[in-house]
Chains A and B, each alone.
Chain A
Amino acid sequence: MKEELQKRVIKGPDGVEFEVEPLRDYYCEAPPTVMPGAYIQIVEDLFNWARAESIWILGFGTGCGAIEMRPLMTPRFDAYRYGVQWRPTPRQANLLMISGYLSTKTLKRAIRSYEQMQSPKYVVGLGSCTINGGMYWDSYNTIKRLDDYLPVDLYIAGCMPRPEALLAGFQDMKKLIRAGKGEGANRYAENFDWYKANQKRVIHDWDMPDYSW
């Protein structure tokens, strides 16, 4: 276990000593729960409309696809006109873009980033390497299908997908959300044990808590 995760006694600047157990103190202890829809369908539709028009993406460039996000933030392709924008922290984001292949080391960080996001949240897999491994089908360090580890709502194929493909992908994502099909977070909560088992099968040094939001 890493040094900073170990239980230790800390003396504060004011001289008070206290014990810290990072894995217990810093993280939540309960697994995620299914978030029920609104009590009446028309309200849920209103919510979904609002959600669809404000897709905020976590700016986590996990792979090569991140380079085509940059043009989307500038006037030429301008994804902002569709209500899409990039946020620096998972707490403010509701869409996790897996921009390309995920090595097991990044998978660990991607899972934690995903779990720290607020529900309702969505995952888009970008590039053929998230779909079936793509070019790295025989690599020892990348996962081959993303939907075993995170609840993927949409895949955008290509190596790498062009900005126009991404814009089309955002539009499709909006349609899914408005139709009430963006239920990734609930699927994740329902099948939590299955996802965790899959994740632990490829991450051999699991030194983090199971729930990290």
Chain B
Amino acid sequence: MRELYSQLKQLFPLGELTEQRQDLAFVTVPQEHLRSLLLHLRDREGFTHLVLLTAVDWLEDNIFQLTYLLTNREQQRTLGLRVMLPRDAATMQSIHDIWPTAATYQRELREMFGIAFPDSPRVDEEFILEGWIDIPPYRRDFDTLKYAEENYSQRPGRVTHDPAEHMKQKLYPGGT
């Protein structure tokens, strides 16, 4: 992985390499270089399998992290590319022409995180949700419990315990 990283480093401005396992590493890529890096990895380095494309919401830092996970089956290694996007009006270029299956991932991200992928096929159609009226649900500032309580009638009698407090009460009744 180190070897591949130093080769790539000469061609692209990359961030630090995080080696999670022997066969798995993550690296940060600037947004504008992602496409050429993906093409390079797919055509030159044998990373032909797009495992997944997903996003992580870092609300505190006001950024979205997009993760593109690629696998090279012959050399049995997996590389994750992280792209940091500003959270406001997040837009990313589509990669559906490199991997057609990415179109599905981009539809999901558009719906669940509100990240725009211009030119991706059918990206603005409803994918999972239907008639959604709130902010995209996978964003950190969306409170699913509050939404559920406001929108769905609950059957009375359901109690929720804090697990730590509840176990303490149960194991040491009256204790501190």
Please list the residues of chain A having a beta carbon within 8 angstroms of any beta carbon in chain B. 104-105, 108, 131-133, 137-145, 148, 198, 201-206
B-chain residues with CB within 8 Å of residue A131 when the two chains form the complex: 155
* Given known A-B contacts A132-B158, A133-B158, A139-B144, A144 and B131 have beta carbons under 8 A apart: no
* B137 interface contact, C-beta 8 A: yes
Distance between A199 CB and nearest chain B CB, rounded to angstroms: 12
Residue A144 contacts which of B130, B142, B154 (CB distance < 8 angstroms)? B154
Segment touching A, from B11-19, B57-65, B145-153: B145-153
Asked whether, in the complex, the Cβ of B145 is within 8 Å of the Cβ of A202, the reply is no
Distance between A154 CB and nearest chain B CB, rounded to angstroms: 16
Flag B23-57 by CB within 8 Å of A: 1 or 0 each. Answer: 00000000000000000000000000000000000
Distance between A2 CB and nearest chain B CB, rounded to angstroms: 11
Taking CB as reference atom, which chain A residue is nearest B154?
A144
Alpha-carbon gap, A205 to B131, bound state (A): 5
Flag B128-139 by CB within 8 Å of A: 1 or 0 each. Answer: 011111100100
Alpha-carbon gap, A92 to B129, bound state (A): 30
Asked whether, in the complex, the Cβ of B131 is within 8 Å of the Cβ of A132, the reply is no
Distance between B128 CB and nearest chain A CB, rounded to angstroms: 8
Taking CB as reference atom, which chain A residue is nearest B150?
A140
Distance between A144 CB and nearest chain B CB, rounded to angstroms: 5
A-B contacts, CB under 8 A, total: 56
Flag B147-168 by CB within 8 Å of A: 1 or 0 each. Answer: 1100111110110100000000
Residue A105 contacts which of B130, B137, B147 (CB distance < 8 angstroms)? B130
Alpha-carbon gap, A203 to B152, bound state (A): 11
Flag B106-148 by CB within 8 Å of A: 1 or 0 each. Answer: 0000000000000000000000011111100100001011011
Asked whether, in the complex, the Cβ of A204 is within 8 Å of the Cβ of B154, the reply is no
B-chain residues with CB within 8 Å of residue A104 when the two chains form the complex: 130-131
User: A interface, by DSSP: helix, strand, loop or mixed?
Assistant: loop
Taking CB as reference atom, which chain A residue is nearest B137?
A140
Asked whether, in the complex, the Cβ of A143 is within 8 Å of the Cβ of B152, the reply is yes
Interface residues on B, range: 20 to 34
Taking CB as reference atom, which chain A residue is nearest B149?
A138
Supplied contacts A105-B129, A142-B152, A144-B154, 4 more A-B pairs, CB within 8 Å: A108-B130, A140-B142, A140-B144, A144-B153
* Given known A-B contacts A138-B148, A139-B148, A145 and B132 have beta carbons under 8 A apart: no
Residue B148 contacts which of A140, A198, A201, A205 (CB distance < 8 angstroms)? A140
Distance between B50 CB and nearest chain A CB, rounded to angstroms: 27
A-chain residues with CB within 8 Å of residue B131 when the two chains form the complex: 104, 203-206
Asked whether, in the complex, the Cβ of A132 is within 8 Å of the Cβ of B152, the reply is no
Alpha-carbon gap, A202 to B148, bound state (A): 10
B-chain residues with CB within 8 Å of residue A141 when the two chains form the complex: 129, 137
Residue B130 contacts which of A138, A148, A205 (CB distance < 8 angstroms)? A205
Alpha-carbon gap, A199 to B142, bound state (A): 23
Asked whether, in the complex, the Cβ of B129 is within 8 Å of the Cβ of A144, the reply is no
Distance between A147 CB and nearest chain B CB, rounded to angstroms: 9
B-chain residues with CB within 8 Å of residue A143 when the two chains form the complex: 152
Taking CB as reference atom, which chain B residue is nearest A147?
B155
Taking CB as reference atom, which chain A residue is nearest B153?
A148
Asked whether, in the complex, the Cβ of A132 is within 8 Å of the Cβ of B154, the reply is yes
Distance between B78 CB and nearest chain A CB, rounded to angstroms: 31
Asked whether, in the complex, the Cβ of B158 is within 8 Å of the Cβ of A137, the reply is yes
A-chain residues with CB within 8 Å of residue B133 when the two chains form the complex: 204
Flag B81-97 by CB within 8 Å of A: 1 or 0 each. Answer: 00000000000000000
Asked whether, in the complex, the Cβ of A145 is within 8 Å of the Cβ of B129, the reply is no
